[in-house]
Structure 1
Amino acid sequence: MKEKLYSIGEISRLANVSIKALRYYDKIDLFKPAYIDPDTNYRYYRDSQLYHLDLIKSLKYIGTPLEEIRLAQELDSEELLTFLEKQEKQVREKIDFLLNIEQSITNVKKGMQRQLEYPSLGEVYVVEEEEVRIIRMEAEGMEPESLFNASYSKLKMLIESTDGFTNTSYGAMFHFEHYANLKDISYMYLFSPVLSKNQISAVTPDFELTTIPKGKYICIAFHFSPENYLRNLQKLTKYVGDHQFQPISDIFEFFIPIHYSPKKQEEFRVEMRVRVAETGEEPKKN
């Protein structure tokens, strides 16, 4: 029985491969027609060629480059199995990469959602917080008015070297005290919330992986200015004293951009929080 020949249009429909792609595969000697009519230059394909096209389609579907597909065509079964194992590993790496991006986006969204749920700015509030993993570094005696100096940039460089999706929330830690002057405040640490496992694996001896513990926190949020900063810090510490809360942590301070427009003056929102003892909890620093 004579084997049926298919036109390029028919093979395109049968295999769900575009005519443009079939012509390109012919041009680069990846998948050539069985016969070309010398009078019309029409391409024709045999039934038996379809399984060759199946291999091309399958490997292209998982992102294998055409040059590697060409090599795969020449492999025997054992070699092809090894080749597919390598492709499987590459696909797993891509999946892990995308899952890591997804986790980064989820964590950034949580931070942004929190901003939308603040009570009125300048109002002290009490909230139960979940544990937050952070990467921190010593602040080298920084103070609020010198927040964005080279020390902060060092932390930012670590975070950005591990993920394309950049964290826009950073923070600082300083002792809980009743401050009368902005110059009296000295940061002990700068930190950034962990977005992904890539950041964890990149931590060097200059940095420390730790947590902001879960628990009850007294918080306040406000737009940054030197005047607002001291006034709202004093509100926070006064509230803790007036309500006889026992602080059991340093003050954790988060600073977040209010907008991202290069045409506007930079503005930041600051949130301060201090963990306080639950009933019966030991007053111990974290």
Structure 2
Amino acid sequence: MTNLYTIGEVSRYMNISTKILRHYDHLNLLKPCYISPDTKYRYFSYDQLFIIDVIRYLNKTLLIPLEDIKNILDENKDYDKLLTFLESHKEQLDKKIAAIEYSKQLTDSMISDIKELKKSPKKIEIYEQYLMSRNFYYLELNTSIYDIDKYVNRHITNITNIDITEHNTMCLLFSLSEYMKTKNLNVKGFGVFSEKKIPQLKFKNLREGRYINQSFIYSEENTMSAINNITKYADIKNMKLDDTAFLVSKMVDLSVSSKYDYLMELQIMHHM
């Protein structure tokens, strides 16, 4: 059979697996030009080698899905339709590039954090710090700190936003007055700091001012102890505390193996 090639020959010539060629066939993207009625062997024509190369270029280089390639090859070459498709595909590529760039920024942040931790291990202590105004976007919750892992979703679409101010940082909210009254610590919100508005999330502006901070290794009991320590510290210093306490930590800390090894920082604003 002149100018006909078995699937094995095409695989060798084009450096493409027979599995992929069969997949093209399954999608009706590239059907063999001839199938032997006796042996059921698939045969491809010489001209189809060109089509295979085009398909591979569109899929591997331009990252166009095979299903879309089928539509492109099947349709008449209408410039308007082709332009519309390519513009839409470019928009999808831009989103993927943005997502990869965001992942790279988070990775850079993790690298910096681990290098800094190796150089200057964090101290477990109470200290005062002046913090600038921050915009906090969060999901409203009302659940026990012992159940928080049921509700915290680090990959929530609205929160994984490329413009967030503090990459790889998350924050939990607590009501100081509620805790002091009930001695039960309920998480009132979970979110991130961001200069850009994050739709569908509640907003709270953290005012510029002086905060009393307590750093500690996480546990539910240590969190309550930190609140107690800060309130005692404020009483001794005759300071008035805001009602909202903010528990700040890394979204992910690859230097530890358990959430009970995470370094946390409790922040409560105070007034003299």
Q: Same fold (TM over 0.5)?
A: yes
Maintained 8 Å contact 2:171/2:190: no
Q: Distance in 2 between matches of 1:109 and 1:234?
A: 36
How many Å apart are 1:102 and its aligned residue?
5.7
Maintained 8 Å contact 1:131/1:212: yes
Gaps of 5+ in 1: 176-180, 277-282
Q: What residue is the counterpart of 1:51 in the other structure?
A: 50
How many Å apart are 1:18 and its aligned residue?
1.1
Question: Which amino acid in the other structure matches residue 68 of structure 1?
Answer: D
Maintained 8 Å contact 1:134/1:212: no
Mapped pair 1:162 → 2:165: no
How many Å apart are 1:211 and its aligned residue?
4.6
Q: Residues 227, 91 of structure 1: CA spacing in aligned structure 2 closer, same or farther, 3 A cutoff?
A: closer
Mapped pair 1:69 → 2:69: yes
- Percent of counterpart pairs with the same letter? 23
Mapped pair 1:33 → 2:29: no
Q: What residue is the counterpart of 1:279 in the other structure?
A: none
Maintained 8 Å contact 1:119/1:125: no
3-state SS in 1 of match to 2:74: coil
Give the 5 Å matches for 1:71-86.
Answer: 71-77=71-77, 78=79, 79-86=81-88
Q: Distance in 2 between matches of 1:120 and 1:147?
A: 27
The C-alpha deviation readout for 1:72-95, integer Å capped at 9, x for no partner, is 212233133332222222333333
3-state SS in 1 of match to 2:137: strand
Give the 5 Å matches for 1:109-148.
Answer: 119-121=122-124, 123-125=125-127, 132-135=134-137, 148=145
The C-alpha deviation readout for 1:171-206, integer Å capped at 9, x for no partner, is 34769xxxxx93499x9x856323796x71223xxx
Mapped pair 1:235 → 2:238: no
Q: What residue is the counterpart of 1:178 in the other structure?
A: none
How many Å apart are 1:273 and its aligned residue?
3.4
> How does the TM-score come out when normalised to structure 2?
0.58
Q: What residue is the counterpart of 2:265 in the other structure?
A: 271
Larger Rg: 1
Q: Residues 41, 115 of structure 1: CA spacing in aligned structure 2 closer, same or farther, 3 A cutoff?
A: same
More strand, by proportion? 2
Maintained 8 Å contact 1:255/1:271: yes
Question: Which amino acid in the other structure matches residue 214 of structure 2?
Answer: I
**Further displaced range: 129-138 or 104-113:** 104-113
Question: Cα RMSD between the aligned structures?
Answer: 5.5
Maintained 8 Å contact 2:171/2:246: no
The C-alpha deviation readout for 1:9-30, integer Å capped at 9, x for no partner, is 3322443321111123234432
Question: Which amino acid in the other structure matches residue 80 of structure 1?
Answer: L
Q: Residues 41, 253 of structure 1: CA spacing in aligned structure 2 closer, same or farther, 3 A cutoff?
A: closer
Q: What residue is the counterpart of 2:173 in the other structure?
A: 171
Q: Distance in 1 between matches of 2:12 and 2:123?
A: 62
